[in-house]
Amino acid sequence: MFVAKQSDHTPAQRAHVRRVLWLMLAYAVILPPLIWLRAHRHVSDPLLLAMAIVASLPVLGIFASWGRYLSDERDEYHQATTLRRIAIATNATMGAAVVWGFLQAFGVMPLVEAYWVPFVWVVIQGAFGCVALFARRDPEE
Amino acid sequence: MQSRLRVLRAERGWSQQDLAQRLEVSRQSVNAIETGKYDPSLPLAFRIAELFERSIEDIFLSPSRHSSKAI
Protein backbone atom coordinates (compact mmCIF):
# COMPACT_ATOMS: atom_id res chain seq x y z
CA MET A 1 0.00 0.00 0.00
CA PHE A 2 1.24 3.47 -0.86
CA VAL A 3 1.82 5.67 2.17
CA ALA A 4 2.77 9.31 1.68
CA LYS A 5 6.01 10.06 3.49
CA GLN A 6 6.22 13.07 5.78
CA SER A 7 8.99 14.50 3.57
CA ASP A 8 6.57 14.46 0.61
CA HIS A 9 4.76 17.43 2.10
CA THR A 10 5.92 21.02 1.88
CA PRO A 11 6.02 23.20 5.03
CA ALA A 12 2.98 25.13 3.71
CA GLN A 13 1.03 21.88 3.25
CA ARG A 14 1.90 20.71 6.76
CA ALA A 15 0.82 24.06 8.23
CA HIS A 16 -2.45 23.94 6.25
CA VAL A 17 -3.22 20.38 7.42
CA ARG A 18 -2.52 21.41 11.03
CA ARG A 19 -4.83 24.41 10.73
CA VAL A 20 -7.62 22.38 9.12
CA LEU A 21 -7.41 19.64 11.77
CA TRP A 22 -7.72 22.21 14.57
CA LEU A 23 -10.66 23.87 12.81
CA MET A 24 -12.42 20.53 12.28
CA LEU A 25 -11.91 19.75 15.96
CA ALA A 26 -13.38 23.15 16.85
CA TYR A 27 -16.35 22.43 14.56
CA ALA A 28 -16.94 19.03 16.20
CA VAL A 29 -16.84 20.65 19.66
CA ILE A 30 -18.97 23.70 18.83
CA LEU A 31 -21.76 22.17 16.74
CA PRO A 32 -23.42 19.59 19.08
CA PRO A 33 -24.24 22.07 21.90
CA LEU A 34 -25.60 24.57 19.36
CA ILE A 35 -27.85 21.91 17.82
CA TRP A 36 -28.97 20.82 21.29
CA LEU A 37 -29.76 24.42 22.30
CA ARG A 38 -31.77 24.97 19.12
CA ALA A 39 -33.76 21.76 19.67
CA HIS A 40 -34.39 21.90 23.40
CA ARG A 41 -34.44 25.55 24.48
CA HIS A 42 -36.30 28.61 23.33
CA VAL A 43 -33.62 30.85 21.90
CA SER A 44 -34.18 34.47 20.91
CA ASP A 45 -33.63 35.55 17.30
CA PRO A 46 -30.47 37.59 17.98
CA LEU A 47 -28.98 34.61 19.82
CA LEU A 48 -29.96 32.30 16.95
CA LEU A 49 -28.13 34.64 14.59
CA ALA A 50 -25.06 34.56 16.81
CA MET A 51 -25.24 30.75 17.05
CA ALA A 52 -25.43 30.43 13.26
CA ILE A 53 -22.38 32.67 12.85
CA VAL A 54 -20.43 30.75 15.50
CA ALA A 55 -21.30 27.43 13.81
CA SER A 56 -20.05 28.71 10.45
CA LEU A 57 -16.77 30.19 11.75
CA PRO A 58 -14.68 26.96 11.65
CA VAL A 59 -15.80 26.28 8.06
CA LEU A 60 -14.98 29.85 7.08
CA GLY A 61 -11.62 29.27 8.73
CA ILE A 62 -11.01 26.23 6.51
CA PHE A 63 -11.60 28.34 3.40
CA ALA A 64 -9.33 31.05 4.78
CA SER A 65 -6.71 28.36 5.39
CA TRP A 66 -6.84 27.40 1.71
CA GLY A 67 -6.17 31.02 0.80
CA ARG A 68 -3.30 31.18 3.28
CA TYR A 69 -1.87 27.95 1.89
CA LEU A 70 -1.88 29.26 -1.68
CA SER A 71 -0.15 32.40 -0.47
CA ASP A 72 2.44 30.50 1.63
CA GLU A 73 3.25 27.72 -0.84
CA ARG A 74 6.69 28.30 -2.37
CA ASP A 75 6.66 25.20 -4.54
CA GLU A 76 5.17 26.25 -7.88
CA TYR A 77 4.19 22.70 -8.91
CA HIS A 78 2.17 22.13 -5.73
CA GLN A 79 0.66 25.60 -6.04
CA ALA A 80 -0.38 24.92 -9.64
CA THR A 81 -1.87 21.49 -8.89
CA THR A 82 -3.79 22.88 -5.91
CA LEU A 83 -5.19 25.73 -8.00
CA ARG A 84 -6.25 23.22 -10.66
CA ARG A 85 -7.93 21.05 -8.04
CA ILE A 86 -9.75 24.06 -6.58
CA ALA A 87 -10.92 25.12 -10.05
CA ILE A 88 -12.25 21.60 -10.80
CA ALA A 89 -13.99 21.33 -7.42
CA THR A 90 -15.49 24.82 -7.76
CA ASN A 91 -16.83 24.16 -11.26
CA ALA A 92 -18.24 20.77 -10.31
CA THR A 93 -19.87 22.11 -7.13
CA MET A 94 -21.34 25.19 -8.78
CA GLY A 95 -22.65 23.05 -11.64
CA ALA A 96 -24.24 20.60 -9.23
CA ALA A 97 -25.75 23.46 -7.21
CA VAL A 98 -27.33 25.02 -10.31
CA VAL A 99 -28.78 21.72 -11.56
CA TRP A 100 -30.06 20.84 -8.08
CA GLY A 101 -31.51 24.33 -7.69
CA PHE A 102 -33.63 23.98 -10.82
CA LEU A 103 -34.65 20.42 -9.96
CA GLN A 104 -35.73 21.72 -6.58
CA ALA A 105 -37.58 24.69 -8.11
CA PHE A 106 -39.50 22.34 -10.42
CA GLY A 107 -40.36 20.10 -7.49
CA VAL A 108 -38.36 17.11 -8.74
CA MET A 109 -35.86 17.03 -5.89
CA PRO A 110 -36.23 17.88 -2.19
CA LEU A 111 -34.83 20.96 -0.49
CA VAL A 112 -31.17 20.68 0.47
CA GLU A 113 -29.67 23.03 3.04
CA ALA A 114 -27.18 25.49 1.52
CA TYR A 115 -24.39 24.46 3.90
CA TRP A 116 -24.08 21.18 1.98
CA VAL A 117 -22.56 23.13 -0.94
CA PRO A 118 -19.17 23.71 0.76
CA PHE A 119 -19.28 20.13 2.06
CA VAL A 120 -19.62 18.87 -1.53
CA TRP A 121 -16.79 21.20 -2.59
CA VAL A 122 -14.48 19.80 0.09
CA VAL A 123 -15.39 16.19 -0.80
CA ILE A 124 -14.76 16.73 -4.53
CA GLN A 125 -11.48 18.48 -3.80
CA GLY A 126 -10.41 15.71 -1.44
CA ALA A 127 -11.30 13.07 -4.04
CA PHE A 128 -9.17 14.79 -6.68
CA GLY A 129 -6.39 15.13 -4.11
CA CYS A 130 -6.42 11.36 -3.51
CA VAL A 131 -6.41 10.68 -7.26
CA ALA A 132 -3.44 13.05 -7.68
CA LEU A 133 -1.59 11.43 -4.77
CA PHE A 134 -1.79 7.98 -6.35
CA ALA A 135 -1.25 9.25 -9.91
CA ARG A 136 2.10 10.85 -9.06
CA ARG A 137 3.61 7.68 -7.60
CA ASP A 138 7.06 7.36 -9.11
CA PRO A 139 8.65 3.93 -9.20
CA GLU A 140 12.14 5.45 -9.52
CA GLU A 141 12.49 6.66 -5.91
CA MET B 1 7.22 19.50 -22.49
CA GLN B 2 10.02 17.01 -22.94
CA SER B 3 13.36 17.61 -21.29
CA ARG B 4 16.81 16.12 -20.79
CA LEU B 5 16.63 16.70 -17.07
CA ARG B 6 16.59 13.02 -16.11
CA VAL B 7 19.69 12.35 -18.24
CA LEU B 8 21.59 15.34 -16.88
CA ARG B 9 20.67 14.38 -13.33
CA ALA B 10 21.75 10.79 -13.88
CA GLU B 11 25.10 11.95 -15.32
CA ARG B 12 25.81 13.62 -12.00
CA GLY B 13 24.56 10.68 -9.98
CA TRP B 14 21.92 12.75 -8.23
CA SER B 15 18.61 11.41 -7.02
CA GLN B 16 15.42 13.39 -7.60
CA GLN B 17 15.61 14.41 -3.95
CA ASP B 18 19.19 15.68 -4.40
CA LEU B 19 18.17 17.78 -7.39
CA ALA B 20 15.05 19.02 -5.60
CA GLN B 21 17.15 20.22 -2.66
CA ARG B 22 19.57 22.03 -4.98
CA LEU B 23 16.67 23.74 -6.75
CA GLU B 24 14.74 24.35 -3.50
CA VAL B 25 11.61 22.66 -4.83
CA SER B 26 9.79 19.46 -3.88
CA ARG B 27 10.80 16.06 -5.21
CA GLN B 28 7.37 15.82 -6.83
CA SER B 29 8.19 18.97 -8.82
CA VAL B 30 11.35 17.37 -10.20
CA ASN B 31 9.45 14.20 -11.01
CA ALA B 32 6.64 16.10 -12.74
CA ILE B 33 9.11 18.11 -14.83
CA GLU B 34 11.12 15.01 -15.78
CA THR B 35 8.03 13.11 -16.84
CA GLY B 36 6.68 16.07 -18.81
CA LYS B 37 3.59 16.41 -16.61
CA TYR B 38 4.51 19.94 -15.55
CA ASP B 39 6.24 22.77 -17.40
CA PRO B 40 8.39 24.84 -15.03
CA SER B 41 8.03 28.60 -14.82
CA LEU B 42 10.70 30.67 -16.57
CA PRO B 43 12.50 31.54 -13.27
CA LEU B 44 12.66 27.83 -12.34
CA ALA B 45 13.80 26.89 -15.86
CA PHE B 46 16.63 29.44 -15.51
CA ARG B 47 17.57 27.99 -12.09
CA ILE B 48 17.73 24.51 -13.63
CA ALA B 49 19.81 25.77 -16.57
CA GLU B 50 22.23 27.62 -14.26
CA LEU B 51 22.61 24.58 -12.01
CA PHE B 52 23.60 22.38 -14.95
CA GLU B 53 25.56 25.23 -16.62
CA ARG B 54 23.58 24.82 -19.83
CA SER B 55 21.18 26.97 -21.77
CA ILE B 56 17.46 26.42 -21.33
CA GLU B 57 17.23 25.11 -24.92
CA ASP B 58 19.87 22.47 -24.11
CA ILE B 59 17.66 21.07 -21.37
CA PHE B 60 14.09 21.65 -22.56
CA LEU B 61 12.93 20.66 -26.02
CA SER B 62 10.90 23.32 -27.78
CA PRO B 63 7.38 21.87 -28.23
CA SER B 64 6.90 23.71 -31.55
CA ARG B 65 10.23 22.58 -33.05
CA HIS B 66 9.79 19.11 -31.69
CA SER B 67 6.30 18.73 -33.20
CA SER B 68 7.31 20.28 -36.56
CA LYS B 69 10.17 17.75 -36.85
CA ALA B 70 7.72 14.98 -36.14
CA ILE B 71 5.55 16.20 -39.05
Count of domains observed in chain A: 2
Q: Is residue A113 part of a domain?
A: yes
Q: What is this structure's pTM?
A: 0.80
Does A119 lie in the same domain as A81? yes
Chain B partners of A81 at a C-beta cutoff of 8 Å? 38
Q: Is residue A1 part of a domain?
A: no
Enumerate helices (H) and strands (E) in chain A, giving the number of each.
4, 0
Question: What are the residues facing B54 on neighbouring strands?
Answer: none
Q: What's the average model confidence in pLDDT over A49-68? A: 94
The confidence score (pLDDT) of residue B11 equals 93
pLDDT band at A6 (very low <50, low <70, confident <90, very high): very low
Chain A residue with Cα closest to B44 = A76
Helix (H) or strand (E) holding A139: none
Among A74, A93, A124, the domain boundary falls at A74
In angstroms, the CA A48 to CA A44 distance is: 6
Domains of chain B, CATH where assigned: 5-70 (1.10.260.40)
Does A112 lie in the same domain as A84? yes
The confidence score (pLDDT) of residue A2 equals 40
pLDDT above 70 as % of chain A: 90
In angstroms, the CA A72 to CA B56 distance is: 28
Does A68 lie in the same domain as A31? yes
Would you say B17 and A64 are in contact if contact means Cβ atoms under 8 Å apart? Answer: no
In angstroms, the CA B33 to CA B4 distance is: 10
Host domain of residue A87: 75-136
Q: Is residue A47 part of a domain?
A: yes
Q: Is residue A131 part of a domain?
A: yes
Chain A partners of B17 at a C-beta cutoff of 8 Å? 141
Which A residues 60-89 touch B at CB under 8 Å? 74-78, 80-81
